[in-house]
Homo-oligomer: A and B are copies of this chain.
Amino acid sequence: MQVILDLCLVPMGVGVSVSQYVAECDRVLQETGLKHELHANGTNIEGEWDAVMAAVKLCHERVHAMGVSRIFTAIKLSTRTDRHQTMDNKIQSVKAKLQ
């Protein structure tokens, strides 16, 4: 089962600047080899469900290991069984309608 997922970890109780933790999650995703794209409110990831969810778990473990004792996370995801879809497909579909 393929999934396209938007991940947003919010470290709590460690100040209002959290970019170092977002950067750490980016490093985790680079290590996994999963396709991912940082945006202003999260990071989009695509891949097989188990691989993506393992990466999401690892992001939490690594951010906790940096000394963050509480993390709030918002995730949006979509799965579909009718056809394979990528993040690029999704954006191109919308852009095609806008022309």
List residues of chain A with CB under 8 Å of any chain B CB: 1, 4-6, 8, 10-20, 22-23, 26-27, 37-42, 44, 46, 49-50, 53, 57, 60-61, 64, 69-82, 87-88, 90-91, 93-98
Copies of this chain in its oligomeric complex: 4
Q: In the complex the two chains form, is B1's CB within 8 Å of A60's CB? A: yes
Q: How far apart sit A23 and B94, CA to CA, in the bound complex (Å)?
A: 5
Interface of A (DSSP majority class):
mixed
Q: In the complex the two chains form, is A76's CB within 8 Å of B41's CB? A: yes
Q: List 18 A-B contacts (CB under 8 A).
A: A1-B57, A6-B6, A8-B76, A12-B18, A16-B69, A22-B94, A26-B94, A40-B90, A41-B87, A70-B78, A70-B80, A71-B79, A72-B76, A72-B78, A73-B78, A73-B79, A74-B75, A75-B76
Q: How far apart sit A4 and B8, CA to CA, in the bound complex (Å)?
A: 14
Could you say which residues of chain B place their CB within 8 Å of the CB of A27?
98
Could you say which residues of chain B place their CB within 8 Å of the CB of A94?
19, 22-23, 26, 38
